[in-house]
A and B are shown apart, each in its own frame.
Chain A
Amino acid sequence: MDPVEHDQPHLPAPTIGPVGFAIGVVVILIGLIINPLWISTIGAAVAVIFAFVWARESTAELRGRHVAVEPEVRAAGAAAPAVAAEAAPVHADESERFPRSKFLEASTLGLGAVIGGVVTVPIAGFAVLPAFLGQKRHEVDLGPVTDITEGQWYIATFTTDPSQGETSRRTAFVRNNGSVQSGSAQVPSFTIISNRCAHLGCPVQANGPTGSILGIKDVVETTANGRVTMIPTVPAGFGCPCHGGQYDTEGNRTAGPPVRGLDRYDFEIKNGRLILLSMYSVSQVDGTGAQAKIHKYKLAGPGEHVAGVEQILYPLQPPHH
C-alpha cells in the first residue's frame, strides 16, 4: 500500500446533538446555583433530548442508514471502487435486507434485555428506594411543661421511635424561656437544641455541672416515647468529644471544625405537654433565649453548609424529616 495523505476530513462536522447536550449540562449546573427544582429540570430535559439526538446521529451508520461521509481512502487503486460502492444503494439485494440470522440475533438480545430488566429493576429498587421513601416523622412527647423549670437547662434523652428500641435514643438540650408576647397572645418559648454535632454528627455534651450536684431533681417519666429523662445542667456551652467542636448556649459555633450552628427542634404544646416536632438546621443565632433571632434552614446533614457560598455544594436534600 502506498501512504496516503489524509488531508481531507472524513468525519462529519459536529452537529446539533453534542452542542445541545453541552448547553443542557450547562443549564443544569447553572440551575443548581439559581433554582435546582425548575432550571435544572429544564436543563436535564434539554440534555436528555439532545443526548438522544446525538445517539441517533452517531449510530445512524450502525442502523444501516446511508451516511454522507467522505470515504476513507486507503490506496490509490482501491479508491475508485470504494467510492462507487458508497454511491450504490446499500440494499442492492432486496432479499438480504433483513435475513433470518439478523432477526434471531435481535430477538435474542432483545429478549435477554427484557428478562434482565424484569429481574434487575425490582432488585435495584428494593436495594435503594426504601432508604428514601416513607421516611416517618416522629413526634416526641417530653411530658408536662410544668415539670420544666423556667430558665433551667435540661439534658433530655428519649427514643424517637420506640419500635426501634435504644438505637433511636436521641438527646436534646431544652430550656424553658417562659412566655413571650406574640401579637396579642402570650406564647411559651423553648430553646431546644439537638446534640448532633454540625461537624460529623457525634454527640455534643454540655460543658458544665449536671445532675444532683445542682440540687435540682432529675425529671424521669415514661411517655409514648419510652423512658424520657431530663437531667438539669448549667452549661457554659456545648462541646463535642470527637473532634473538639465548641458551641455557645444558643448553639452558635465558637471553635473547632463545625460548619454551622447546632440543629434545633420545632415544638408545640399539646394538652400542656411539650412535643418535639421536626428538626431544622441553623446557620447562626443572634440574641439569646426568647429574643433569639434564628437563621433557620431546612434540615441538612452534619458537615453540610446551609448558608454562604458553600451551600451550592448541597443543592438537593434527600427526603427526610
Chain B
Amino acid sequence: MVTRRPPSKAQARREQMQAAVNFPLDWLEERSGLVGGVKYFLFRKVPGDINWMQTLGSATLTAFLVQAVTGVILAMYYKPTPEAAYSSIQNITDHVTMGWLVRGMHKWGASVFIILMFMHMGRVFLFGAYKYPRELNWIVGVLLLAMGMMEGFTGYLLPWDQTAYWASVVGINLNGTAPFLGPWLAQFLRSGQEIGADTLTRFYSLHMLVLPGMIAGLIGLHLYLIIRLGVTSPPWSPEAAGEATVDEAPGELRAGLTRAGRGDDGAAS
C-alpha cells in the first residue's frame, strides 16, 4: 500500500524554480518559435564519427566574432584622418586602458582568422565535403575567403605608418596591373589619382562597414546551408554522408514564381 506523502519543502522549491525558468522560455517560444529554433540548431544530428577536424569552421567563426567585437571597440578610439590616424593608434597602444591588449587581439586575430579559414578550407577539400549537394556552400566559402583577404588588405593601411602606407601603395598598384580594368580599379581604390585622406577613409569604411556586413550575411548563408544539408561524414565513414533532401517533385516549389512556369508543370494555377 502506497501512501502519497506531501511534497517536501525542497521538492516544492525545485518545482518553483523550474516554473520560474520555464515561464520566460514558454513566453518567448509561444510568440516567436525561437526556443525551438535554437534547440534545433544546437541539438541537430551529426555523424557519429566526426572528429576535431570538423571544429575548424566553428573556430573560424569564433575568430571572426573576436575580430568584430575588438574592431568595434577600436573604432571608438581610432581617428581615420591622415593627421590623427597614427597618433590615435599610439594612443590606443600606450594610454587607453587595456588598449594594447584589444589592439593586439585584433592585429594577431586577423592572422588567426585567415589561417583558420585556410585550414577549414583544407579540411573541406580533403574530406570531399564540397561535393554534391554542398557545392554552393563551397562557393559561399570561397567568397568568404576573398572577403577575409580584402579585410586584411584594407585593415593594413589603417595604422598609417610607413609600412602601412607603402604596402598599400604596392597593393593598390598590383591591382592596377590587372589587364584592361586594372587602372580603373586602382583609381577607385585610392579614390583619386593619389593616395590621400580619401583613401584612408575609404579603406576604413570598407574595412569596418561594407566587408564585415557582407561577411556576416554570407556566414548566415553558410550556416543555413550546413544546417539544411548536415555535417559531412569523414571519407572513411561506413555511413553515407548527409541525407536525401529532395523530397518534392522537381519544380514544385518554384511553380508560380515566374510567368514562364505557369501551366508548364501542371503544378501552378
Contact = CB atoms under 8 A, between A and B. Distances in A.
Contacts of A182: none
Interface of B, helix, strand, loop or mixed by DSSP:
helix
B196 A304 contact: no
Contacts of A164: 82, 196-197
A304 B166 contact: no
A202 B179 contact: no
Contacts of A317: 183
A297 interface: no
Contacts, number: 83
Contacts of A314: 179-180, 182-183
B19 to A, nearest CB: 48
B193 A313 contact: no
What class of interface size applies to chain B in its complex with A?
20 to 34
A38 B104 CA distance: 54
A201 interface: yes
A165 B183 contact: no
B143 to A, nearest CB: 20
Contacts of A301: 173, 176-177, 182-183, 186
A302 B174 CA distance: 8
A178 interface: no
B194 interface: yes
A202 B170 contact: yes
Interface of B: 82-83, 166, 169-170, 172-174, 176-177, 179-180, 182-184, 186-188, 190-198, 259-260
24 contacts: A61-B260, A130-B192, A130-B198, A131-B187, A131-B190, A131-B191, A132-B188, A135-B192, A164-B196, A166-B82, A167-B82, A168-B194, A202-B166, A203-B166, A242-B170, A301-B177, A303-B173, A313-B180, A314-B182, A315-B180, A316-B184, A317-B183, A320-B192, A321-B193
Interface of A: 32, 61-62, 128, 130-132, 135, 160, 164-168, 200-203, 242, 300-304, 313-318, 320-321
